[in-house]
Chains A and B, each alone.
Chain A
Amino acid sequence: DAGVIQSPRHEVTEMGQEVTLRCKPISGHNSLFWYRQTMMRGLELLIYFNNNVPIDDSGMPEDRFSAKMPNASFSTLKIQPSEPRDSAVYFCASSLGGRASNQPQHFGDGTRLSIL
């Protein structure tokens, strides 16, 4: 079975540009998570969707960040405008059941984002 698929794997862009990260969760999984990983802060949850509905976006750093899940097989994380401090690895993860279920989260390979 295919795992969580993220694209692009690497993204390099200039400050001020719009960045869109994409995620395809594992088929049948109804929970989707976006995380950000930096050296300073480690892994942080940005937003959590359940059945395509955003449930908890308290980790979204500011209004420049937005996430959507138009259907069960696709989600996007958008940064507009991007800033150098947004440089990080962004992970998408999916799981069965709600986030408090005993099912583990399965992670994609991540997108390494560099804002110049």
Chain B
Amino acid sequence: AQTVTQSQPEMSVQEAETVTLSCTYDTSESDYYLFWYKQPPSRQMILVIRQEAYKQQNATENRFSVNFQKAAKSFSLKISDSQLGDAAMYFCAYRSAGYGGSQGNLIFGKGTKLSVKP
């Protein structure tokens, strides 16, 4: 079964600085998708960025970018020019691209709580 591990329960960053959140996953599959979701205190789950495993190029969305290392099964999120509004729980998630059974279910890590200091 696939697992997702976020080894940093909490992180802190100074406003305008850069922070990297770690995520590793375990799978025997070659085709899958990876996501980062943000959950602010308002509780809403907001998609931040996604990566298809077959793409070698790292995904980027404005200040958010990932470092996808398929061989190492690593998928870290970098937030540049951190803003106060970035403070939230960040969840890494894995989804198989296969079919049948429970394949295709989103599997979440436990999350990393990010604080942004003014």
B interface residues (Cβ-Cβ under 8 A, vs A): 33, 35, 37, 42-47, 50, 52, 91, 95-99, 101-106, 108-111
User: Which residues of the other chain, B, contact A58 by a CB distance below 8 angstroms?
Assistant: 102
Whole-angstrom distance between the alpha carbons of A45 and B79 in the complex? 28
Chain A residues closer than 8 Å to B47, beta-carbon distance: 104-106
A100-B97, A100-B98 in contact; A105/B106 too (CB < 8 A)?
A: yes
9 residue pairs, one from A and one from B, having the closest CB atoms: A100-B104, A107-B45, A99-B104, A43-B108, A109-B44, A104-B47, A110-B43, A45-B105, A42-B110
C-alpha gap A89/B105 in the complex (Å) = 19
A107–B44 CA distance with the chains assembled, in angstroms: 7
Looking at A33, A93, A110, which has the most chain B CB atoms within 10 Å of its CB?
A110
A42 touches B109 (CB 8 A): yes
Tell me whether chain B's interface is mostly helix, strand or loop, or mixed.
loop
Q: Establish whether residues A102 and B33, one from each chain, have CB atoms under 8 Å apart when the complex forms.
A: yes
- Please report the C-alpha to C-alpha distance between residue A45 and residue B46 in the assembled complex, in whole angstroms: 17
Closest Cβ–Cβ distance, residue A10 to chain B (whole Å) = 10
User: Which of B44, B98, B109, B111 has the most A CB atoms < 10 Å from its CB?
Assistant: B44
B45 near A91 (CB under 8 angstroms)?
yes
Q: If A98-B104, A100-B98 touch, does A89 touch B43 (CB 8 Å cutoff)?
A: yes
Is A78 engaged at the interface, CB distance under 8 Å to the other chain?
no
Q: Are A99 and B43 in contact (CB under 8 A)?
A: no
11 more contacts with CB within 8 A, not counting A42-B109, A100-B99, are A42-B110, A42-B111, A43-B106, A45-B106, A56-B105, A100-B103, A100-B104, A102-B52, A102-B97, A104-B35, A105-B47
